[in-house]
Amino acid sequence: MSQAWRILLALVLGIGFGIAGAEISPEGALDLTLVTGPVGSAWLHALQMVIVPLIVGLLVTGVGAAADAARAGRIAGRSMLYFVVILWCTTLLSAIVTPILLNVWQLPPEWSAALRQSLTGAKPMGTVPSLGQFFDTIVPTNVVNAAAGDAFLPLTIFALAFAFAITRLEPASRERLTGLFQALVEAMLVIINWVLALAPIGIFALAYGVGARTGAAAFGALLHYILTVSAIGFLVLLSGYVVAVVFGRVKLGAFARAVAPAQAVAVSTQSSLASLPAMLEASEKLGAAPASAGITLPIAVAVFRATSPAMNLAVALYVAHWLGVPIGAGQLAAGVATAAITTMGSVSLPGTISFFASVAPVSVAMGVPIEALGLLVAVETIPDLFRTVGNVTMDTAVTVAVARKSAGDIAHPEIAPRV
């Protein structure tokens, strides 16, 4: 059994045992949460402790890789511009559509109340800004205090500026610093893998408390969450078709037929990297020159995830709605900026790692409690399908669009590198 299925099984068993215990002896079931609660919290804290160094390290190495790619030629630079614009656009799409979806298709009030009761210890984290405070605090005055206070957006802005500054150094100095942060990331990933090895225990403990306090409402709420967040991923997937038709100037039916094999590989493997050969074939069928596709697609697989910021923001907004945390303009702006900026830093991580590393900073920046993420990571397998298929679809669409704009560059090989 894979780790993802073990985690999901732990979630189901934890909620199930909690429900059964509450039916047999409500007081005894709640007394047992005095033991399971601290166990689950300790596991969650172990994940939290690596977020700051992991995000900073990933941003530095991610920006370095993107800058190196952009320097490789005009096609690569144009690809990076498409990627950045699409990431911000899909994040804004999520910021608009997710609240609408949550209002139109609401979580039943009794479920929401029960879930809030099950996380009575959850408190907003970080500084929750008004819109004026958002602009006033977006640049940190003290980066150490920002890191210590879980002020993720100011910390992210500093890390981003630091990463771009490193790209302007001499090659020897740049390689030393990038290598240092790459080693930092690798060390944090080792710790996270250790923590995730204990995930079935931690998630069982968290789920037991939810089941004991909420009953069967927990299962209904998780299904509502899966459908809501997956819907945002599906919208990003559909926007890939729009990009292909409008900017790539290909017919909708032709694009759908060409990209279908790559989507099938994405569903079966849940890996954009494994889908790369099929994406290359689809791009060439749609008229993209091999030299152009051979530049854009590897960069896309390495540093671009179209669905990530939109779905990460959707998760944070869902948890806020779930727990009754009001989200004003300042909180939403902080969430959008954090989601869009941190995406490039988390793309190379496995799904269970990238979920927490990507969503936690967004939640904290918005003042949303992150205790619920320990449960939601257990059901990430299904939304992750939409993440991967959406990424593959958009990667192919951008490749076709860039190839259309770069036809002249391919005709002048001194402009673009040979592949």
pLDDT tens-digit profile of 159-204? 778 888 888 888 888 888 888 888 988 888 888 888 888 888 888 8
- How far is residue 255's CA from residue 260's CA, in Å, rounded to a whole number? 8
Is it the case that residue 316 has pLDDT exceeding 60? yes
Q: Where are the domains of the chain?
A: 3-410
Other C-beta atoms lying within 10 Å of the C-beta of residue 42:
13
The stretches of 49-73 forming alpha helices (DSSP H) are: 51-71
CA 334 vs. chain centroid, Å, equals 15
Q: Which residues contact 122 (CB under 8 A, 6 or more apart)?
A: 323, 369, 371, 372
Is it the case that residue 411 has pLDDT exceeding 50? no
Residue 86 pLDDT: 92
The average pLDDT across 356-362 equals 82
Q: Name the band, by pLDDT with cuts 50, 70 and 90, for residue 116.
A: low
Over residues 44-58, the pLDDT tens digits come to: 788 778 877 877 887
Residue 24 pLDDT: 86
Residue 237 pLDDT: 94
The average pLDDT across 121-132 equals 50
Q: Name the band, by pLDDT with cuts 50, 70 and 90, for residue 125.
A: very low
**Structural contact between residues 284 and 290, judged by C-beta atoms closer than 8 angstroms:** yes
- How far is residue 157's CA from residue 177's CA, in Å, rounded to a whole number? 18
SS3 content of the chain, % helix, strand, coil (to 5): 80, 0, 20
Residue 394 pLDDT: 94
The stretches of 270-416 forming alpha helices (DSSP H) are: 276-285, 290-303, 308-323, 329-346, 351-366, 373-376, 381-405, 407-410
Is it the case that residue 314 has pLDDT exceeding 70? yes
Residue 61 pLDDT: 77
Domain 3-410 sits in CATH 1.10.3860 = yes
